[in-house]
């Protein structure tokens, strides 16, 4: 099924204007959600607002929004006043600067959108994407929609452009607020850690290799319930002994990865296996010979 555009806007920088269509890059509707039910009869529950002072239900038409400026003290705002404070939608993403893509920490990433050229925008869209890709830079700017103003980052991808909403500085906690103890790392430990990283390294990220096992498990349980079957609860596995020594943990990880790689494909690179087995066998023989000569 072809994706549907959710909005149209214009990317503008200087005197250049690129009409584009906006597509959601994610699909949150696929998440599994549950409703609250009355346990005795199975009917769905309705939310009800109660007045904290009088303890009575309050109808929607009797509600008003307020801001708590001191403990239990509020200033009220009418819908008209809140509407007047909203940012007017501009239908335009105004570029303010270009920075290296690596300069934007992913911790600032929020919602992502795909951009496609709108009518008359194919040529400038293609030119803009190629220029960003060649310069290894992304565009930063502002976008106003639905009463709010966002920082946006427009970055090139293999097949086009992605517009990423960014968080504001006050929405990201600095890592300096976290207490991280400083410790010394030995060269041997660093070498083993780097070997483990090399063993598990890939040339690119393939998201299809990762599955949401929790969602799959929940979906299977829901289907079992729909079919009238009882769900068998699996016992939690007992925690194994913790390896305290860092060097032992790194060596064990390397050995585990090596064994897994050897089992992966018996016909894959057979020349390497005898070499790995021969090296340990020869070393003890040389050491025994050295002792006898003494």
User: Which tokens is 88 given?
Assistant: 């007017």
Position of tokens 């920088």? 13
Give just the sign of the alpha carbon dihedral 136, 140, 145, 147: positive
User: What distances in angstroms separate CA 57 from CA 41, 52, 60, 62, 191, one per listed residue?
Assistant: 23, 10, 10, 10, 66
CB 58 within 8 A of CB 49: yes
CB 128 within 8 A of CB 11: yes
User: What distances in angstroms separate CA 167 from CA 62, 149, 171, one per listed residue?
Assistant: 34, 11, 6
**How far is Cα of residue 143 from the mean position of the Cα atoms in its chain?**
22
User: Which tokens is 148 given?
Assistant: 């709010």
pLDDT, one tens digit per residue, over 76-113 is 998 888 888 876 667 889 999 999 999 999 999 999 99
β-pairing, 7-13 vs 92-100, is parallel
Q: Domains in the chain, start-ordered, CATH in brackets?
A: 7-27+87-171 (2.40.290.10)
Position of tokens 């070393």? 283
Averaged confidence pLDDT in the chain: 83
Task: Assess whether pLDDT exceeds 90 at residue 26.
Answer: no
pLDDT, one tens digit per residue, over 176-200 is 999 999 889 889 889 988 988 888 8
CB 108 within 8 A of CB 167: yes
Q: What is the mean pLDDT of residues 27-35?
A: 75
CA atoms within 13 A on the CB side of 148: 8
Task: Assess whether pLDDT exceeds 80 at residue 232.
Answer: no
* pLDDT > 90 fraction of the chain, expressed in percent and rounded: 42
Question: Rounded distance, CA 118 to CA 19, Å?
Answer: 5
pTM: 0.67
Could you list the beta-strand ranges (E) of the chain.
7-13, 16-24, 65-70, 73-77, 92-100, 109-117, 137-145, 148-157, 160-166
Cα torsion 246, 248, 251, 257 to 10°: value is -90
Question: Rounded distance, CA 209 to CA 211, Å?
Answer: 7
């Amino acid at each position: 099924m072809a994706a549907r555009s959710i909005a149209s806007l214009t990317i503008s920088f200087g005197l250049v204007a690129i009409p584009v269509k906006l597509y959601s890059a994610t699909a949150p509707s696929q998440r599994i959600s549950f409703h609250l039910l009355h346990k005795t009869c199975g009917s769905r529950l309705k939310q009800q607002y109660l007045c904290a002072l009088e303890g009575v239900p309050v109808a929607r038409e009797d509600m008003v929004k307020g801001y708590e400026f001191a403990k239990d003290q509020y200033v009220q705002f009418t819908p008209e006043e809140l509407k007047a404070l909203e940012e007017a939608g501009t239908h335009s993403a105004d570029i303010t600067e270009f920075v290296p893509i690596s300069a934007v920490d992913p911790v600032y990433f929020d919602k992502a959108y795909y951009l496609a050229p709108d009518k008359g925008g194919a040529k400038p869209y293609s030119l803009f994407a190629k220029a960003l890709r060649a310069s290894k830079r992304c565009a930063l700017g502002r976008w106003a929609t639905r009463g709010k103003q966002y920082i946006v980052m427009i970055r090139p991808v293999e097949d086009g452009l992605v517009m990423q909403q960014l968080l504001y500085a006050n929405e990201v906690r600095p890592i300096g607020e976290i207490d991280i103890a400083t410790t010394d790392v030995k060269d041997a430990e660093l070498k083993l850690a780097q070997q483990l990283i090399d063993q598990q390294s890939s040339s690119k990220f393939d998201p299809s290799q990762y599955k949401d096992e929790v969602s799959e498990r929940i979906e299977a349980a829901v289907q079992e319930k729909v079919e009238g079957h009882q769900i068998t609860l699996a016992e939690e596995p007992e925690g194994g002994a913790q390896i305290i020594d860092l060097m032992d943990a790194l060596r064990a990880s390397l050995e585990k990865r090596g064994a897994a790689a050897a089992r992966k494909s018996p016909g894959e690179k057979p020349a390497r296996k005898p070499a790995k087995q021969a090296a340990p066998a020869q070393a003890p023989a040389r050491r025994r010979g050295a002792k006898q000569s003494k």
